[in-house]
Amino acid sequence: MDFKKTIFNRIQFHHGFLLVVIAVAILIVVPNLLKQGMFMDGQQYACVAKNLANHKGTFWKPFLSETWLIQGKNEFLEHPPLFYFIESFSFKVFGEFYLTEKLFSLFTFILHVLLIHLLYKEIANIDYKKYTWIGIFCWSIIPIVSWVFQNNMIEELLSIFTLLSALFSIKAIHSNKFEFVYIVLSGLFVVFATLTKGLPGFFPILIPFLSFFVLKKSTLQKTIFHSLFLVSIPVLIYACIFIFNQEAKESLMFYINNRLLHRISEQPSTDYRLFTLVGLLQELLPLFGLISIIIIINKFKKTNFVIDSENKNTIVFFTLIGISASFPLMLTMVQNKFYFFPALPYFAIALGLLINVYIKQFFINIHLQKNKFLFFFIGCIAMMFSITFSVKQINKFSRDEKIITDVNSIIKSVGHNKTIGVEKDVYYQWNFQFYLLRFGDISIAHAEKKYNYYISYKTTINEDTNYLKSKLYLNNYTLYSLKK
């Protein structure tokens, strides 16, 4: 009984709000995450991770399919390999059903919620530490956030590592006892981030200097030591990799020279340099709208709140971290909205701290502490509803229903572990190709060689008399088998 009393006495009104906010975040992200269907890049990464789990390919030279060939290489070297390696463990644990990579994304989503909570609590002053749910809410309503998790994008793991690096770097600034340990951990997570997505993983090394100039909580001498030591960790680790591991050196040099630099110079994804800035403003519109509503309400009530200088500095600090994680993308013409995903937690925390002062005073005025058990109960009900609703979405489709249905029919007809000939335009329908790889280990090829099976679009008339048209009904394609 005393134990129960202790638990109930520790409940505060903000615990109920934390549960409600997490429930809202789940409703925004998880239902579509658990449905079938995925953007082609995420499918591709899942295929590579599955192959690693099945001992196809190695850490430094991952493998996609028998017919994959980029600039003379059969290995899949589009990005550094850490994402595929870590995701491969989900295939070892859960097997190869369609939810495997989605459960991995769900896990990274949970980690994001936890890390934003910890980072907000670490940096906020004593009056705001219990309002971590504001940062979580601000982050969860940014539209691109749910899209990244729903589509198994590399940025979901990159963001985990950069958040961990930022968290330990900030802990090092605030700590004297474990400063050395925190710097080492921060540097290690920079290495993990760069082994996940390359150059975008380096931005946390700027945090010590940003802290010195904005928060003014460290001496210049300590800042220089922190920065040099932080930078030295990835430098030393990469030096050892390049000196002692020839396979790693070949893999990373091919990625840098033939994929990264090649894309920058030859394969732009946008035609104007400010794409990232415009995209950021668009994605942050829900937050700007929320802030505007709160400020207007308080102006209408004629209540003026002053944000203290410490909180102002913290807001500027996190805003600058967000800028350092996103604005460098504009140095090239290879830009997409999901590229700046790792910057969004810092913008969310900054904007959360901005409205924290208004929300705190509002809650004080309406005496929420008296109804703390009611809000905790509401939070529990909201969590149960969001989880139940999300689970009910399993086996439904978020996209590509007809393509996935065709893929499953083809796999049942021809079997697994095959190579099939296809019409040229079918080969370049990447989502179809990657679904075949993901669920049936079926590679497709557009070549002169005669394969046992051939696939064309339904609208294409196949004039090759070596093939017989299958009676299998498909939505978009026609399956042929080679005459015996």
Count other C-beta atoms under 10 Å from residue 324's C-beta: 19
**Reduced to 3 states, what is the DSSP secondary structure of residue 34?**
coil
* Residue 134 contacts residue 359 (beta carbons within 8 Å): yes
Looking at residue 277, what is its pLDDT?
93
* Chain CA centroid to CA 447, Å: 36
DSSP secondary structure of 326-364:
HGGGGGSS---GGGGGGGHHHHHHHHHHHHHHHHHHHHH
Share of the chain above pLDDT 70, in %: 92
Looking at residue 13, what is its pLDDT?
62
Handedness of CA 172, 175, 181, 182 (dihedral sign): negative
d(CA 164, CA 182): 10
**pLDDT of 167 higher than 70:** yes
DSSP 257: I
Looking at residue 104, what is its pLDDT?
97
d(CA 229, CA 168): 13
List pLDDT tens digits, range 174-219: 877 888 899 999 999 999 999 999 999 999 999 999 999 998 877 8
List pLDDT tens digits, range 283-331: 999 999 988 888 787 777 666 656 666 788 899 999 999 999 999 999 8
Looking at residue 333, what is its pLDDT?
87
Sheet-wide strand order for 467-469? 443-445, 419-422, 453-457, 477-482, 467-469
List pLDDT tens digits, range 214-244: 988 778 888 898 999 999 999 999 999 999 9
Counts of helices then strands in the chain (DSSP H, E): 21, 5
CA distance from start to end of the chain: 78
* Residue 31 contacts residue 150 (beta carbons within 8 Å): no
d(CA 222, CA 186): 16
d(CA 313, CA 114): 24
Stretch (H or E) spanning 133:
helix 132-140
d(CA 343, CA 331): 16
Q: What is the pTM of this model?
A: 0.93
d(CA 176, CA 163): 21
Q: How many CA atoms lie within 13 A of 245 on its CB side?
A: 15
DSSP 201: G
- Closest to 207 (Cα-Cα) out of 232, 230, 236: 230
Share of the chain above pLDDT 90, in %: 65
Per-residue tokens: 475 = 């939505």
What pLDDT band is residue 465 in, cutting at 50, 70 and 90?
confident
List pLDDT tens digits, range 315-374: 999 999 999 999 999 988 889 999 999 999 999 999 998 888 777 776 666 555 566 677
Residue with the larger pLDDT of the pair 413 and 357: 413
Handedness of CA 419, 429, 436, 438 (dihedral sign): positive
DSSP secondary structure of 213-227:
III--S-HHHHHHHH
| Whole-number Cα distances in Å, 419 to 23, 41, 47, 56 | 44, 21, 15, 16
* Residue 311 contacts residue 351 (beta carbons within 8 Å): no
* Mean predicted lDDT score pLDDT of the chain: 89
d(CA 280, CA 283): 5
**Reduced to 3 states, what is the DSSP secondary structure of residue 477?**
strand
Continuous H helices in 124-272: 132-140, 143-150, 155-174, 179-197, 207-210, 220-244, 246-254, 261-266
Per-residue tokens: 185 = 């951990």
Looking at residue 4, what is its pLDDT?
44
Domain ranges of the chain: 10-391, 401-482
β-pairing, 453-457 vs 419-422, is parallel
List pLDDT tens digits, range 47-93: 999 999 999 999 999 999 988 877 667 789 999 999 999 999 999 99
List pLDDT tens digits, range 426-448: 999 999 999 999 999 999 998 77
